[in-house]
Structure 1
């Protein structure tokens, strides 16, 4: 068990480090490398990770509250049953990351790469996904009410049973999606109908 409070690290190498079961509070990590690090069951609160590399790291069962992971690499990272609560994830890349059991509550996930992620049955209400890449994601039965999906890449997404009421859908190619079983509000239904060539009103 370890604890870091309000510390700052620049260009620090944490590769292969054992950072399990610790607490990080109000710390700043800028351009640090955590490749292959063991970070299971650790907790971050109000921390900033800027341009950090978590390639191949193990963050399973970790908890992050109000932290920021901006422009970070999570390629091949183990994020099994990780919880992100009100975190800022702008510009981060989750290519080939293990996301099973991931829990996202609130926060800003704009410009993230979440291609082919399994986000089914998730409570994603009100989350900002502006211009995120969700190509091929499984969003079946997810609650996306009030989410900002402006200009999101939703190609080949599975949406059956998802709830999109009050979500922002500007800039999305609605014609190429399978809307079977999707819940939407009247404004969205009109938008979809017009995208398919219908004259509404």
Structure 2
């Protein structure tokens, strides 16, 4: 039998040393916690908030993330594509997501605000209406990605191939919009 936790606050817990109980976490807050390398497989997080937590290299097989907010978290090398895709909904503010993968996930309307998204894999991800407010997308991979109505106006260092991605009504601004011409290997001055 799995445990059920509701409206609990976990503050400063090092889950690399203390076991995280298997079960469902609803409306919980995790503050200054370490999950680095921890196995989060099959856990359910619904309407939870993670603040200043380190989840780098955590295992996420079939874990569920429903309406979860990550603030100022370190989320390096996470394979979000291993998560349960049913009702997945996540938003990120001030997070480091470098080397993570969102391959084939449906993340409509997700917000990536002031995030570091270096080398993140968004291949075949549905990011319709997503926002990349002041985020750094150096080396991020967009291939067969749905980016319709997405907002890149204040994003930096992205390179998108308009022929390989759906960009209808996506928003861009100068000078970063030249990232759409990256594949042409031309210089604009």
Report TM bin, short chain. 0.7 to 0.9
Are 1:130 and 2:133 counterparts? yes
Q: Partner residue of 1:193?
A: none
Counterpart selection for 2:154 from 151, 158, 164? 151
Distance 1:58 1:88, change over 3 A: same
Q: Partner residue of 1:183?
A: none
In the comparison of the two structures, how many residue pairs are matched?
182
**83-92 vs 27-36, which moves further:** 83-92
Cα distance in 2 for residues equivalent to 1:123 and 1:172: 25
Q: TM-score, normalised by structure 1?
A: 0.78
Deviations 1:72-115 (A, max 9, x none): 11123343422473322111111233544544232211122222
Q: Partner residue of 1:67?
A: 68
Greater Rg, structure 1 or structure 2? 1
Which 5+ residue runs of structure 2 have no aligned equivalent? none
Cα distance in 2 for residues equivalent to 1:14 and 1:158: 41
Contact 2:56 2:74 in 1 (8 A): yes
Contact 1:7 1:26 in 2 (8 A): yes
Contact 1:40 1:60 in 2 (8 A): yes
Runs of 4+ in 1 over 6 A off after TM superposition: none
Which 5+ residue runs of structure 1 have no aligned equivalent? 181-195
Cα distance in 2 for residues equivalent to 1:99 and 1:146: 19
Cα distance in 2 for residues equivalent to 1:175 and 1:127: 20
Q: Partner residue of 2:114?
A: 111
The correspondence of residues 1-201 of structure 1 with structure 2, limited to 5 A, is: 1-15=2-16, 19=20, 22-82=23-83, 83=85, 85-178=88-181
